Each structure stands twice: as C-alpha cells, then as structure tokens.
Amino acid sequence: MRTEEVLAAIATGLWRWDNAAGTVTLDAEAARLLGLPAEPGSYREAAVRSRFHPVDWNEIYGVVNLAVAEGTLAEARLRIVDERGKVLRTVRSRSKPVVPTDGDQEHYVLIGTLQEVAEP
C-alpha cells in the first residue's frame, strides 16, 4: 500500500508552502479541498490565501508565526471560500515549519496536511 493511496482513501491532501518564494505546492486532494482544480500543481501564495476565510487567515497567520518561533506544529481549522466568499467547507490544517539552518525565521517552508472536517 502506498502513502498516496492511504491519504486519498481518507480524503487528506498534502501541501508545501514556501514563504520565501511565495508559492504553495498542492497535491490533487489538497487542491480539491481548497476549491481549486483537483490536480497537483503550484500556485502563487495570493491564489491560495484567497481561498481562506479572511478571519481564519488572520488566525492561521498568528498560529504559524508561533509555530515557527517555538519549532512546534501549526494546527488550525479554516473555512474555505469560493470566489464570491461563500463557505464551501471547513478543513483542518496541520503543518510543521522548516526553518533554514541559518535560523532566519522570515524564510520558512511549511509542510503539512489538509483534511475536511464535519461541522458540529
């Protein structure tokens, strides 16, 4: 059994956010969860950020900065919106920041998962 098969079976997507380059790389499931075409690809940060509810974006920004500073996991629930701002779904994001060996915390990479969660 391959890792990709397991992740697809449980509707979990993988993503990589390169803060310095301003790019986000998504597998097909992560792209689908974000309301983008369900195929692997790289996107500009702004294109992916626009899929997050503005309030949730502010929250995850703080959570990620704390995780970078402390070297911990960043975990949050995010509402995913379409082009008109209508909420499509809620996802759980778990990611680990990878900081360069020189310790420059402004240039990190987040590697993580996205998984749809049911609303209570």
Domain ranges of the chain: 3-117
Whole-number percent of the chain with pLDDT over 90: 73
Q: Which CATH architecture has domain 3-117?
A: 2-Layer Sandwich (3.30)
Tens of pLDDT, residues 59-87 = 998 999 999 989 999 999 999 999 999 99
Q: Phi first, then psi: give them for residue 115, nearest 5 degrees.
A: -145, 135
Tell me how far apart the alpha carbons of residues 53 and 71 are, in angstroms, rounded to a whole number.
26
Please tell me the predicted confidence (pLDDT) of residue 86. 95
Mean pLDDT for 11-34 is: 95
Please tell me the predicted confidence (pLDDT) of residue 6. 87
34: left (phi over 0), alpha (psi -120 to 50) or beta: alpha
Confidence at 88, pLDDT banded by 50, 70, 90 = very high
Q: Where are the beta strands (DSSP E) in the chain?
A: 12-18, 23-26, 41-44, 74-81, 87-98, 109-117
